[in-house]
Structure 1
Amino acid sequence: MSSPPRADRPAGLRERKKAKTRQAIQEHALRLFTEQGYDATTVEQIAEAAEVSPSTFFRYFPTKEDVVMRDDYDPMIAAAYLRQPASLGPLAAMRAAMGEVFTEVFEADERTIRRRIELIWSIPALRARQVEGQLATMAALASMLAERTGRSADDLRVRAAAGAVIGAWIAAMERWVVSGRDVSLPALMDEVLAFLEEGMPL
């Protein structure tokens, strides 16, 4: 008697197709933003380039801003953080998790990452959304640090540590964008997180 089909196969295929569509929409959007400007590019133009309907665009990205802002890094970082050995301190575990995630995504998506960061820093509306995103990421990092240290996620020191990590990321991304392609973003991320881990000696 043959084995029944695995129940996860259709769902897995659907998720891969959704991820492929989401990636295509984002890639075409970033290309159009680069070619003709963010403000001059419409959702209808993005949808046409990606060969989807405007309603499909909005199923994946609620606004035009979201097509630049959205990524899946936070859950990837959380999963990598949970895999780190208990022998590592909270910042050392964060540094290891970041190294794992950003090395992987940078190798696959360097061009997309650079386009997104450059757009975010050049468009006021996107910079404002970035602040919202950073606050959400800080909350997620605080939860991870709290779990590892046995403290509350609302503990001021936990929140400050999460905020310091966010600040270090911003410094690394700024240096990467202005330095051209002579340095890798994962290397800069590791450098600034090592600086935090060492107690920020100046």
Structure 2
Amino acid sequence: MAATPRTPTGASLAETQPQPGLRERKKLKTRIAIRRATYRLIAEQGYEATTIEQIAEAAEVSPSTVFRYFPTKEDIVLTDEYDPIMEAELRARPAGEDPLESIRAVLTQGLAAFIEEEREEVIQRTRLMVEVPAIRARMTETMATTSELLVHALADRTGRSRDDLDVRVFTAAVLGAVREVMLYWAARDHKDDLIALLDRALTTIQGGLRL
């Protein structure tokens, strides 16, 4: 959902966390290889013309391996490895900080890092969100996983239960704002400042829609 957020010291959160074992590193390497092969093929021949078999061949894995990591072709485009990192960064925000400000800091820092490090992938992903209805529909489904992670973190930070309606509504509003920002940015040919758009959207949630 986001890129590698930065800690107050400037290091990425991933650098401060226990490093994964060999098996997990191999799985991550395979996931990245599949995703990069997919983006390369889509750039060359389009989304609809790109098949799982072609992706598997380009990534040097079997089609069954592709499906083991990504249940659908849409998931290859939409899935990344940053949701757990974002959750951990949210939990690490200062105690007593306003929840919206915590979310704002985590999301804006994460997106800024993502754009800096993988701008072309972000552009291609968001363009496909606009152009391919199946990806846009699947995005709504996959955001449920991100939502659960953030709900748990926010509930624990605020001392509320994880099924608290206010926490769930707040989280849904934030993720809905992120979704609309991405679509708006892509529809305008990625000319706007994405971080400024996100900040504007979160400010709208904070203050409401005024005449």
Q: TM-score, normalised by structure 2?
A: 0.80
Measured in 2, the distance between the counterparts of 1:63 and 1:178 equals 24
- State the SS of the aligned residue for 1:39: coil
> Displaced runs of 4+ in structure 1, greater than 3 A?
11-18
- The structure that has the greater radius of gyration is 1
What does residue 200 of structure 1 align with? 208
Matched, 1:150 2:159: yes
Conservation of the 8 A alpha-carbon contact between 2:130 and 2:183: no
Change (3 A) 1:55 1:135: closer
Deviation, structure 1 residue 162: 0.9
Identity %: 47
Matched, 1:87 2:104: no
Deviation, structure 1 residue 74: 1.8
Q: Deviations over 1:152-185 (max 9, x none)?
A: 2222221111111012112211221122243232
Measured in 1, the distance between the counterparts of 2:55 and 2:65 equals 11
Q: Specify every segment of 5 or more residues in structure 1 that has no aligned partner in the other structure, as ranges.
A: 1-7
| Greater relative contact order, per chain length (Cα 8 Å cut-off, separation 6+) | 2
What does residue 10 of structure 2 align with? none
Measured in 1, the distance between the counterparts of 2:146 and 2:190 equals 26
What does residue 57 of structure 1 align with? 66
Q: How many residues align?
A: 193
1:84-123 to 2 correspondences below 5 Å: 84-123=93-132
Conservation of the 8 A alpha-carbon contact between 1:25 and 1:47: yes
Measured in 1, the distance between the counterparts of 2:66 and 2:159 equals 42
Q: TM-score, normalised by structure 1?
A: 0.83
Matched, 1:32 2:35: no
Q: Pick one of 167, 170, 174 that aligns with 2:176.
A: 167
Conservation of the 8 A alpha-carbon contact between 1:80 and 1:101: no
